[in-house]
Amino acid sequence: MIELFRVTKVFNMGRANAFTALKAVDLRIDLGRMTVFKGPSGSGKTTLLSIIGCMSRPTSGRIKLNGRETTSLPERFAAKIRRDTFGFIFQNYNLIRGISVLENTMIPTYPIGRKHQQVKERAYSLLRRLNIESKAKERVENLSGGNSSGWPFQGH
Amino acid sequence: MAADDYPHGEDTVEIGQGVLRTWGTIRGRQLFFKTFNGEVLELRLVKTFSSSSELITSDLIRMSQGTFRRLTGIPKGFATDLAVRIRNPRESMMIAKKVSLSLPDTRSILKEEILRTYDALFDWRSGYTIILLVGAILAFFIFAWDKATGLSAEERSEIGILKGLGWDTSDILMMKFWEGSVISVTAFLMGVIAAYVHTFLLSAPFFEHALKGWATLYPDFQVQPSVDAYQVAVLFSLTVLPYSFICLIPAWKWASSDPDLVMRQG
């Protein structure tokens, strides 16, 4: 369960170009449900998702994940939550260029220190499930848009 | 003129490799010289200087004092040069002045002046190395400065993606450190190997003329392989280590930001 209490996010705070993306947002998202944010461009959907997913910190307010406060967790713990709990599919895919499809799939597990062979097998099984195993050795910049969007970022 | 300790006796000669090459064919180790009055003087070749000393012995001919006098016609009691040893070196200047006053047609040269001349003759060649070194250091600093002052948009985006995938700051710094280390160690090894090949296997074609000089008798230039581990270690610590750490500065700045911010700016 995800809970937000009066979450506000101000970009460039204290400067002339300060911009309030979120203003005192209260939200509760229950487990096992699909929730959709919709709104016009610039209304703060991405900012809200970033804050929920520990990708950025709110300027004020509190966030709870399964009853546990995540608002001001040290960076190491926030990274662990990002790694273990959330999965993002970005509009522009956010693949790392210059390395292969297989390596891109394995990247999230590197900080965990799992055995390379084990991670590789798991990555292959994910690629197999999405029918893109044949592209495993290809560099991501050579992929078509369709292949890039069906990306299996590994979870913990 | 040779010292009195020339060991091979009269009518013999020692020559350098350059003289040997210029002379061409030698039959039965006999060399024929033309004396001051046009006669032929036959001298026996007893030794050629080794090629490893060719840089200084290539055009050298050595013979006994008596043979030299017969060749040049300089009678006994006369000399082209006289070496004077002075017990107290601080008096050398005064004695040189006195020699010049009493023998006005002679020219006194102090040992210090000879050394100075040799310094002037040979030391400027190190200027080549210094200019190249300054150029290389400047290039290194420009490269390092460029690396230290910022990351490309692609690198920033890469850091943002990695953070979004659950890497924390220390993971990214560790990756950037290894990345910088691999690049700098590879570049260092390639540079050292290229320098070794250029100098010792190809006889330094870029510096050859500067190092061996512009003589009439060109010596064969074969540099003996010698690597100073201390110099290599100093070079390593002045290039590889700073570069590896310099790579961390911009990476640290971006890696410690929120991944959302990094990705928006990237």
CB spacing of A55 vs B157 below 8 angstroms: no
Name the pLDDT band for B262 (thresholds 50, 70, 90). Answer: low
Residue from A119, A107, A85 nearest A151 by CA: A107
Which residues in A lie closer than 8 A to residue B158 (C-beta atoms)? 96
pLDDT at B213: 64
| Rounded mean pLDDT, B195-223 | 75
Torsion of CA A59, A6, B260, B180, to 10 degrees: 50
B171 Cβ under 8 Å from any chain A Cβ? yes
Q: What are phi and psi of A84, to 5 degrees?
A: -90, -30
Which residues in A lie closer than 8 A to residue B161 (C-beta atoms)? 94-96
| Rounded mean pLDDT, B156-180 | 88
Mutual orientation of helices B229-246 and B248-255 as an angle, nearest 10°? Answer: 20
End-to-end CA distance of chain A: 19
CB within 8 Å of chain B, chain A residues 18-37: none
Residue of A nearest to B174 (CA): A111
Residue from B178, B162, B179, B148 nearest B257 by CA: B162
| Optimal mutation site among A72, A91, A94, A140, interface B, most CBs of chain B within 10 A | A94
CB spacing of A110 vs B171 below 8 angstroms: yes
Other CB atoms within a 10 A radius of the CB of residue B256 amount to 15
- The pTM score is 0.64
Encode pLDDT of A7-28 as tens digits. Answer: 999 988 889 889 999 999 999 9
| Optimal mutation site among B165, B257, B260, B264, interface A, most CBs of chain A within 10 A | B165
Residue of B nearest to A153 (CA): B165
Name the pLDDT band for A150 (thresholds 50, 70, 90). Answer: low
Question: Per-residue DSSP letters for B98-126?
Answer: HHHHH-TT-----HHHHHHHHHHHHTHHH
Q: Which uninterrupted H or E stretch holds B62?
A: strand B61-63
pLDDT at A13: 87
pLDDT above 50 (res B1): no
Please tell me the distance from the alpha carbon of residue A108 to that of residue B157, in angstroms, as a whole number.
15
The one-letter code for the residue type at B201 is L
Please tell me the distance from the alpha carbon of residue B165 to that of residue A83, in angstroms, as a whole number.
6
A55 Cβ under 8 Å from any chain B Cβ? yes
Cα-trace Rg, chain A: 18
Q: Are A9 and A60 in contact (CB under 8 A)?
A: no
The strand order across the sheet containing B30-34 reads B30-34, B40-48, B12-15, B61-63
CB spacing of B258 vs A55 below 8 angstroms: yes
A10 Cβ under 8 Å from any chain B Cβ? no
End-to-end CA distance of chain B: 78
Between B189 and B151, residue with greater pLDDT: B189
pLDDT above 70 (res A54): yes
Q: Which uninterrupted H or E stretch holds A14?
A: none
CB within 8 Å of chain A, chain B residues 137-156: 154
B252 Cβ under 8 Å from any chain A Cβ? no
pLDDT above 50 (res B250): yes
The tokens describing A127, both together, are: 């690629």
pLDDT at B102: 93
